[in-house]
Each structure stands twice: as structure tokens, then as C-alpha cells.
A and B are shown apart, each in its own frame.
Chain A
């Protein structure tokens, strides 16, 4: 019996915006229920504005559903306050975005250490050791002390992946991780994810436009107008 790591129960998300003094409701997700199981490498695809990025933010506790519930394992993250969510994000989730979002004043090593020391999970010494390992896992053992602006786009993204893995997350949530990379670097990132998933049983969710990338994952959830249009397991 496969175990659900992420579970959406009738989740809706409506944005309220004001234009010319009139409140306009935009429903992004009308009613969404699905599960992601432990160890799955899932791609969420769909056209722009289909709601796939919102789904990712809801999984990451960065956004809250208007109605419905979001569970991470058995934790109902949709009812948590901001500080509780900070703890959960730090302990159980790793994020990789389209842009690397590394802190420019810190070296690769320090950027990877950042989540480890943020909530005091590791001492500086332990964090340094672990960050060094993670960076060598992504092939950057020679760039430990480089600042982000001294790295290429692909290298920056690999540092960001190492940072996302810093606290051994339950789920790696990634938003267009190859959107800014050339095909060679995209392939490298995919191989890295593949290896993580196969060797370490890392659960990975990738939101992507990249059909080629998606086609190589185990499961593709295609979203159209906020609804699951197709859910295919390879």
C-alpha cells in the first residue's frame, strides 16, 4: 500500500483583486483532490495560468487554500500559522525555483548551510561538513567558496538544489528548475533529480513547461483550468 506524502482534499484557491474599486474574484483552482506518494518523481504540466505553480506553493505552505485541506504526511499544513509553516518548510521541504535565488553575499557553501543553521538543526561545524558533501554530490566540490556571481547558470542551479536538499526534505518541490538553462544543463539537472529519486528514494515534484523533461518522469499530472486533465503513471 503506497503511502501518501502530499494530499489535497477538495482544495480551492480564489484570488481576490481590486480593479477600479470593484472586487474581482479569480478562481485559480476550483476543486482539486489528489495524492503524491512517497518516492514518486512527479511532473505537473499545463499551460501558463493553469494553476500548476499555485499547486506547488500550496504544497510548500507558501500559499493557503481558500477552502479544503492540504496535508503533508499527517500534518494539516493548510491550518498552520506562518511561524509553524516556517518550521515545516525548514524541516520537511526543499525548494528549487526557476531562478537560483542564492544569497549573493554568501559563498556556495554558506548558501547550502543556510537552511541547516536557520532553525539551529545543525552546529556550524556539522553544517559545513554536510554542505561540503552535498556540493560534491552535485559536482561542485571545487566551487565551495565561490560567490553565486562567479558561477555559471547551471552551477548556480546545482548549488540551489544542494541547498534544497540540506535538511533531507520529505519532498523536493521545484518550479521550472530548467526554465533558465540550456539543454545541456537541463539534462544535467534532470540526471541529478533522477539519481536522487532512484538512489535515495527522494520524492520530487517538478512543475514544468518542458514536455521533454516531463516525459522522462514517472508520473505526469496535466493541469488544465485548475483541474486535473490527465494523470499518467509511466
Chain B
């Protein structure tokens, strides 16, 4: 017969004999685990809701007018040695970054079965004038129907109708943030002054809100209007947006396009890399801080065990003198640390779960649209792994914290205690 039960019993009795201290330590572990779980959930939720939104309402790949490599010299041709050549035209550098003959480029891109939608875009910065306000504004010329398949304006309109843009040649559709900047409402007329000094009048036919600032800052006109403003020919655009069927393939698609068309292509990860990196950095900082919360809780565990061991020198001595072995004494105190961590982690998981529910019901901005895309609540990540990892972490910290005191207990020399030397 083994004495495992007896060892557990001794560990438990000693813990419960110091109820207040034990409860405080359990609370420390519990709070640490709770904070860790909710912090991980918050950071994970922020990043994944950000990515979700991008993936849902932003182009997966953007083909830009920038060339992958400069144009090959066209002065290289075959001729006999000594032949005289009359050079009419030198190599032209094309500073303007635009996609020429975009319909052919689109056809080329669409030949990839992964590509589901393409949408040509002209972007140009103008000075927008409305009332007394006059400030620069980046506008996008689009083919409304095709762009809608990428950014999904039609389900995010808060005033006006999306179809109006196509019907109104001088129509302007803008995001809620941009509209607020100018104080614009449906039906308002404003003027755009182009780089070339020409003035164009446009009319607000719709206002949308996606919840993503980058998109809600934008203003859209018909493709032809933007081409006029930018001074592009009808077959020239600045970018082509596209969506792919399988998101994991976006990188391969972008590289294929670059190879086949010589136009630089970027995936959404590449475009948003600095934002994603920022999210990850903030996450790291948060985890770092939370790490210390648990570490402090670990000190609590060490404290409880050290006091238990110091106060129990006599008991340890007597246990040794009635036949308990060194290893068994160690186990008693390791068990105490483990028990505190287990109970604390269980409580922390429960509290963490409740906190996640509470946090995900907090309103962060007043609702401006009742569409499904817009979220005005904190997106909390949900995964059982948060609980498993936080508990494991607390357990490891507590185990490490209990090793020292437990070994100290095993080293107690009964003779010193029994003689009353300590």
C-alpha cells in the first residue's frame, strides 16, 4: 500500500490551516490568469477582426502602375557591323505610374482561374472646395458595379443609393469620415480643382460607412470623371483591384501577375504589413506586461510556501523522524504549489470567460449603420487555447516557485530542530 493519499492530506491540511494567506495567493493566480486570458483574447480579437474586415471589404491584390523593371532599351537591334543607323527615337523613361491599355492587362490577369473579380481604379488628388472649406482630397475613379464586388458599398450605405453613382455622370460617393470633414450631405454640390488647374463640379449621391477608417476616408467618382481629372486617356488607369477565390493563393497570384504584366502587385498583407506589425508589437507589449502579472502571482506562491516551510520546520522534523523520506517531504510542498496554481487557474479561467463576455458587449462607438459589416463592439477572440495556455503558464510559474521552498523543506535536519537549535 502506498501513502500517496496521506501525503496529499498533509499538503492540504497545511494549506487550509492558513486560509487567508492561501486564498489570497489563489486570488493572485486567478487574477493573473484572468488578465492573461482576456488580454490574449482582446489582442487576438482586434487583429483578427481587422484582418476579417480587410479580407471582406478590401482588395486582396492591388496591381499598380509601377513597373517591376525599367523598360528594356529599344536601341538594340540586329545589324551588320559598319552599318550606319539613323536613330530617331531615344529610350523614353516613363515617370508616370499608370497602367496602360488596362483592358488587355485585365484580360491577362483574369486568365488566372484564381482571380474572381477585377476592378480598374484611377486615383488622383484634387483640391475639393465646398462652402468655405478648401482642402486636398484623394478621389478614386471606379466602375461602380465592379468595385462594389470588392468593397461592398451597396450593403454599407447610410444615405443615398449606391446605384445612383452609375446613373449620375457627375456623381460623388464618399465615406462617412470624409463627408464629416467637409460637412457634406446628400445632394450637396462641390468643386474639384485638378493638378492641371481645371475645375469639375460633382454632386453627392451617396454616403457609406464600412467601419474601416482607410475606406471611410475615401471619395469615389465614375472612372471616366477621374480619368478626365487626372488627364488620363480612356485606356489608362492607375491601379487594378482584384479578389481571389482562395485567400491563401493571393501571394502566388500577385507574383504571377508581376511576372506576366510587369506591373508591381501587392497583396493585402503587404499593403497592411505596417498595421499588422503594429498590432503584433502592441500584442507583444501587452503580453509582456501580463507576463509580469503572473510572475508577481508566482512570487505569491513562493511566499506562501516559504512561510509554510519556515513555520513547519518542527512538523517536517517530526515527519522525518517517524519515517517520511526526503522525496516525500519535497512532494508535500510541490503539491501545495500545484494545488494553489490549479485552483487559481480554474478560478482565473472562469473569471476570464466572464470578462471576455463582458468586454465583448462594451460599445465602443455609437452605431451609424445597421449593416452587418459594421461592428461597434469590441471583437474578442474566442479559443479554448487561451485558457489552456494561461493555465499551463500559471502552473509552470507556480511549480518553479515551489521548487526552492520544497527542497529547503527536504533539507531540514531533524536533529537541529529537535535540539531546539532553530
Chain A residues with a Cβ under 8 A of chain B = 53, 57, 60, 62-63, 82-83, 86-87, 89-91, 95, 97, 99, 101-106, 114-115, 117-124, 163, 166, 175
By the criterion CB–CB under 8 Å, are B13 and A62 in contact?
A: no
B interface, size bucket = 20 to 34
Q: Which of these, A99, A115, A122, contacts B323 with CB under 8 Å? A: A115
For residue B315, which residues in chain A have a CB less than 8 angstroms away from its CB?
A: 101, 103-104
Q: Is B79 an interface residue (CB 8 A)?
A: no
Given A86-B325, A105-B13, A106-B13, is A118 in contact with B6 using a C-beta cutoff of 8 Å? yes
Q: Are B323 and A120 in contact (CB under 8 A)?
A: no
Assess whether B317 is interfacial by the CB under 8 Å rule: yes
B322 lies within 8 A of A114 (CB): yes
Known: A104-B17, A105-B14. 4 other contacts (CB 8 A): A82-B325, A86-B323, A103-B10, A105-B17
Alpha-carbon separation in the docked complex, A103 to B319 (Å): 9
The 9 closest A-B pairs by CB, nearest first: A90-B323, A105-B13, A120-B1, A115-B322, A101-B318, A118-B323, A105-B17, A86-B325, A117-B6
> Which B-chain residue is minimally distant from A90 (CB atoms)?
B323
Q: Chain A: which residue is nearest B324 at the CB level? A: A118
Distance (Å) between the CB of B170 and the closest chain A CB? 87
A-B contact count (CB 8 A): 73
Query: Closest CB of chain A to B323's CB: distance in Å?
Result: 3
Q: Are A60 and B1 in contact (CB under 8 A)?
A: no
* Segment from B178-186, B264-272, B412-420 that makes contact with A: B412-420
**Interface of B, helix, strand, loop or mixed by DSSP:** helix
Is the C-beta of B365 less than 8 angstroms from some C-beta in chain A?
A: no
- Would you give 16 A-B contacts (Cβ < 8 Å), ordered by A? A57-B418, A62-B418, A63-B415, A91-B323, A101-B317, A103-B10, A105-B10, A105-B13, A105-B16, A114-B319, A115-B323, A118-B322, A119-B3, A120-B2, A120-B3, A122-B1
**Across the interface, do B418 and A86 meet the contact criterion of CB distance under 8 Å?**
no
Instruction: Identify the B interface with A (CB < 8 A).
Output: 1-3, 5-6, 10, 13-14, 16-17, 314-315, 317-327, 414-415, 418-419
B323/A87 in contact, CB under 8 A: yes
State A100–B14 Cα separation when bound (angstroms). 18
**Distance from B305 Cβ to chain A, minimum over Cβ atoms (Å):** 16
Contact yes or no, B321 A60, CB < 8 A: yes
Which residues of the partner chain B approach A103 to less than 8 Å between Cβ atoms? 10, 13, 315, 318-319
